Amino acid sequence: MDLLNLSSTMLYTAFILYLIATFFFGASIRQDKAERRKKTKTGTIGIIITMIGFATQLVYLITRWIASGHAPVSNMFEFMTFFGMCMVLGFIIVYFYYKLTFLGLFALPITMIIIAYASMFPTEIAPLVPSLQSHWLYIHVTTVALGQGILFISFVAGLMYLISQVDQTVRNKKNIWLEVVLYTIFLFVGFIVITSAFNLTNYNVTFEYPEGESMLTTDYHLPAIAGPNEGNLLTEDTMEPWFDSPAWMHGADAGRKFNTVIWSFITGTVLYGLTRLLTRKRIGAKLQPLLKNVKPGLLDEIMYRSVAIGFPVFTLGGLIFASIWAQIAWGRFWGWDPKEVWALVTWLYYAAFLHLRLSRGWHGEKSGWLAVVGFAIIMFNLIVVNLVLAGLHSYA
């Protein structure tokens, strides 16, 4: 328990350090040329704090590994926190190569959202299911997370490119789609806010629902807008669900997960609306002045290099190592499990990215959109495929 407490403290400390570093990176992008030396100092302080935060998160990883006896990447909490760690590592590497402080102003807040998102899942250590009791757990999963962490940098650079280059003075399809991307980030924040709020109140209601010939129970930690299909509320004096979850949603606790998605959309939309009301601008238009001195060509180069490095790493972990482990665990190297299918979709997409970039000359804005959509596919694989679609990887 002492190790687990230390581990949790280290993760929380890393989160706070990333937040502090973000403020220093924000201070470093002031456009006053007379303060160039001061900007350099604040950027240096920001990266030092980021590295301390990364080292702190590494302590979290090691202590949890010792406490659990296995690589801490076996469930959503553990994998998403490790994924956030890989995202920070990718940023640190890019920073020292390009010395771009403004990249941290976008990379670290998104990383903090990922870590906060992970913290909404159960954090208890549980025994590994038989199929996970293998050294391939940390070989396959950590390599995948590292590849995705590097590809995350291409998303950050692509998003910054689009914010800085898409015309915000007129309403068109480009800035509408860009606003949709930014709105999606608010949905993640909405999930964190609403889940944290009801966790503080210890909200819990129980439903009973049929699953085949058996009757199962599930606990809801948010008020039930969507109840389990054909479910009955067992907890008295609580809000009745407005409707049942669709019958085609299968898997453990599908109704509860669907209910959480609904609440995330509601809360994220409210937060987005309040932000728009306060700023009286589209979010992209509000952020654009921050990037007016950023060189678009440099962002374009970062997009390409991140994919060029992250793609082979993901290939190694997501296809090659995954196939070897599948052959050992299930007796076949490939099946049409949803997780495997979407890993292949991710690989094909980034292969197409490199093909279009190198042979068709898709640079600049086109690469920016490709980088943003690519990371959306990664997040779909991590969230929807893991939590909603039933398959051999549902233990995640």
User: Residue 153: what pLDDT?
Assistant: 93
Q: Say if 54 falls within a structural domain.
A: no
- Do 149 and 189 belong together in one domain? no
Contacts of 364 (CB under 8 A, 6+ apart): 161, 165, 296, 300
Q: Say if 388 falls within a structural domain.
A: yes
Q: How far apart are CA 102 and CA 73, in angstroms?
A: 30
User: Residue 308: what pLDDT?
Assistant: 93
- Structural domain for 173, as ranges: 169-281
- Do 322 and 222 belong together in one domain? no
Q: Which residue has the higher pLDDT, 116 or 40?
A: 116
Burial of 220 (0-12, 13-18, 19+ CB in 10 A): buried
Confidence of residue 130 (pLDDT cuts 50, 70, 90): low
- Do 252 and 356 belong together in one domain? no
- Do 371 and 396 belong together in one domain? yes
Is residue 36 scored above 80 in pLDDT? Answer: no
Q: Which residue has the higher pLDDT, 236 or 179?
A: 179
For the chain, the average pLDDT equals 85
Q: Say if 14 falls within a structural domain.
A: no
Q: Based on the structure, what is the number of domains in the chain?
A: 2
User: Residue 210: what pLDDT?
Assistant: 82
**Mind listing the pLDDT tens digit for each residue in 79-110?**
889 999 999 999 999 888 888 888 888 899 99
User: Residue 68: what pLDDT?
Assistant: 80
Is residue 57 scored above 90 in pLDDT? Answer: yes
Per-residue pLDDT, averaged over 155-174, amounts to 88
Q: Which of 63-77, 81-95, 210-224, 233-247 has the highest mean pLDDT?
A: 81-95
Strands (E), the chain: 205-211, 214-220, 226-227, 232-233, 243-244
**Mind listing the pLDDT tens digit for each residue in 364-395?**
889 999 999 999 999 888 877 776 665 555 54
Instruction: Indicate the residue among 255, 281, 307 that finishes a domain.
Output: 281
Instruction: Indicate the residue among 264, 281, 298 that finishes a domain.
Output: 281
**Mind listing the pLDDT tens digit for each residue in 321-379?**
888 877 877 777 777 777 888 889 999 999 999 999 988 888 888 999 999 999 999 98
- Do 252 and 294 belong together in one domain? no
For the ranges 30-39, 141-150, 202-211, 279-288, the lowest mean pLDDT is seen at 30-39
User: Residue 32: what pLDDT?
Assistant: 47
User: By percentage, how much of the chain surpasses pLDDT 70?
Assistant: 91
Is residue 253 scored above 80 in pLDDT? Answer: no
User: Residue 394: what pLDDT?
Assistant: 52
Contacts of 54 (CB under 8 A, 6+ apart): 14, 85, 88, 89, 92
Q: Say if 123 falls within a structural domain.
A: no
Q: Say if 308 falls within a structural domain.
A: yes
Residues in the chain: 396
Closest listed residue to residue 383, CA positions, set 274, 261, 297: 261
- Do 192 and 247 belong together in one domain? yes
User: Residue 134: what pLDDT?
Assistant: 75
Give the predicted TM-score (pTM) of the model: 0.84
Place of tokens 């915000």: 168
